[in-house]
A and B are shown apart, each in its own frame.
Chain A
Amino acid sequence: MSTTNATTAAPARIAAASSTKVRTFVVTVAIVGVLVYCICLFFNLPAFTYHPAVNRVELWWGPARSGEGPAMYWYGWTVTTLIVSPIVGYLATLLPENVGKKIPLILVWLLPIIAIPYLIWDLRQWWFHP
């Protein structure tokens, strides 16, 4: 019984790993994920703000308050990205297969490379701090 399951499960896994829908999903997540992260950074759009000194979580963006220590936004930007990109990825799988296949693979690796100079520019306050 278990042998039968194992022999049928393996080809099923291989098929799942090579299906067009999976391809569309992962390619979209990679492209949208990089874009959403950079957009979150540019417009400062965290899903939440964490105040570590008082262990408090605040929805969306919140300022650092006097007597409460610093505010952390990176968790919020990452969570926004991890929520938005799989949703867009799933929506992309609903497109007709021929449309999904047309998503250019080059963007999967080109966008992260292009994002690097942008991230360096975004941190200019540290590089040029007097």
Chain B
Amino acid sequence: MAGPEPDMLRAKKNIGGKRMDIISVPTWWTIWMLFHLIVSVGLLGALTHQAVAVMMPVRKMAGPAGFVTRFRAVPAPGYAFAVCIMWVITFILGSYIYIKYRTYIRIPIEQAGYWKTQGFFDFKEHVASIGLVLLPAYWFFWKNAQDPEYDTARKVLTIFLCVACWFLFIVGHVLNNTRGFA
């Protein structure tokens, strides 16, 4: 007579349910990771444009605009809402794939002794959460971009989020190279 099924085995069987009949488990998680990547690329682009625009605003065009001038001459306030939405979506997608990461990727990384790589991932998760709570203030400062009272806070917060986003992106990329879902 067979004993009771261990919790861990039962949970493994239930992960994914019907969807695992159509695609493999690694494919499922890789697809979600690609969505996470695609939205993060949009976020990275928007935040970089905005950060460059606040650091080097275009005051007056003298002659034909070059690539750098066009890059920083974007209507920066128009990016704020999109940045908030993309940060939240990227965050939610990242939180979802983190479930699989914790068991399927982190454990082998620890077994291989890549401690600093693991440390950078933990740092990434902290930075992402800190960025999340800053979004309402970031949105408000950009909505009131004409108010000089918020100039410094808006500039520093935008640059902080841009640097954070680049950091999150690079760490995620390196981790995926270390060991992906596939």
Please list the residues of chain A having a beta carbon within 8 angstroms of any beta carbon in chain B.
Answer: 14, 17-18, 22-23, 25-27, 29-30, 33-34, 37, 41, 50, 52-56, 67-70, 72, 74-75, 77-78, 81-82, 85, 105-106, 108-109, 112-113, 115-116, 119-120, 122-123, 125-127, 129
Contact = CB atoms under 8 A, between A and B. Distances in A.
B107 A70 contact: yes
Contacts of A54: 7-8, 10-11
Give the interface residue-count category, chain B.
35 or more
Interface string B127-166: 1011011101101100110010110110011001000000
B102 interface: yes
**Closest CB pairs A-B (n = 3):** A126-B119, A33-B133, A129-B115
Interface in B71-110: 95, 98-100, 102-103, 106-107
A70 B11 CA distance: 14
Nearest to B161: A112
Given A18-B144, A129-B115, 19 more contacts: A18-B147, A27-B140, A34-B130, A37-B126, A53-B8, A53-B103, A67-B7, A70-B106, A70-B107, A72-B102, A74-B98, A74-B129, A78-B129, A106-B153, A108-B134, A109-B152, A113-B160, A127-B115, A129-B116
A126 B122 contact: yes
A27 B160 contact: no
Given A52-B102, A123-B119, A30 B126 contact: no
Contacts of B123: 119-120, 123
B137 A30 contact: yes
A126 B103 contact: no
A13 B129 CA distance: 28
B14 interface: yes
Given A74-B98, A78-B132, A27 B126 contact: no
B15 interface: yes
